[in-house]
Amino acid sequence: MTTKPWRAALRGIIGLMFGLPALAADWSGTRNIVLSNATGERHIIGQVIFSDAAQGKTAFRIEMAAHMQDYFLAMRPFLCLTGPVQRLC
């Protein structure tokens, strides 16, 4: 069985992602989850709340906005943002 070159490269990249410590900005506080489109419309649909989990780890909690509505589509539950023209799920 031969491995395709792109699969080997992908495995290497994923290994680096999980093998190196996160070198990102401060992981604390609250960040908004925003839907946006090409015309510049922006809708806040939730928040991610980061907190210290000790030993250099960070925990997070996701809270969806109250205006998101439950719909059962394609035999699965979805949270949707309903507007006058369309519904985004």
Q: Which residue has the higher pLDDT, 38 or 48?
A: 48
Quick check: 47 pLDDT over 90?
Answer: yes
The model's pTM is 0.59
Dihedral class, residue 47 (left if φ above 0, else alpha if ψ from -120 to 50, else beta): beta
Mean pLDDT for the stretch of residues 28-39: 86
Quick check: 20 pLDDT over 60?
Answer: no
Of residues 70, 73, 72, the one with CA closest to residue 82: 70
